[in-house]
Amino acid sequence: MESLIIEGTTKTPNVDFDSEKGKLEIRGRSIPENSIEFYKPLVDWLEDYAHTPKSKTEVNVHLEYFNTSSSKCILDVFKKLESIHKNKYDIQINWYYEEDDEDMLEAGEDYESIIRVPFKMIEIVD
């Protein structure tokens, strides 16, 4: 299947979902007014990917800011990953946060407590 690549804007993140490598990355800011519109292609792509996932998928979420409207869509993305994980595929979500950004760490921990997929919190030190 094809990879999904979306160029970031001031309000939406860069997306690089590489089906060959099993490496999915979301990076930047996610603060659109209409987040459903932005995230729909990601969720659709994951639905396809779920049919033939790699034995191991690495997910890197590297967000500087995200709004509450994105937070639900990000949860939808994670729920798709959770269903792949349930089918005995290896999934690892790496949640990056900038040094001392406790709010972003806490946001990652919120997801970790809802979604049954291994999470790793990674602090980015300058």
Instruction: Please give the residue ranges that form the binding site for another protein (CB under 8 A).
Output: 10-11, 31, 33-36, 65, 67-69, 71-73, 75, 98, 100-101, 103, 106, 110, 113-114
**How many Å apart are CA 20 and CA 15, to the nearest integer?**
15
Sequence-ordered list of residues with C-beta below 8 angstroms from that of 107, at least 6 positions apart, any chain: 66, 71
Closer residue to another protein (CB): 37 or 47: 37
Closer residue to another protein (CB): 48 or 110: 110
Count of alpha carbons within 13 angstroms of residue 5, beta-carbon side:
3
Please, what is the minimum distance in Å from the beta carbon of residue 114 to another protein?
Answer: 5
Crossing angle of helices 35-49 and 68-86, rounded to 10°:
10
Please, what is the minimum distance in Å from the beta carbon of residue 81 to another protein?
Answer: 15
Closer residue to another protein (CB): 5 or 36: 36
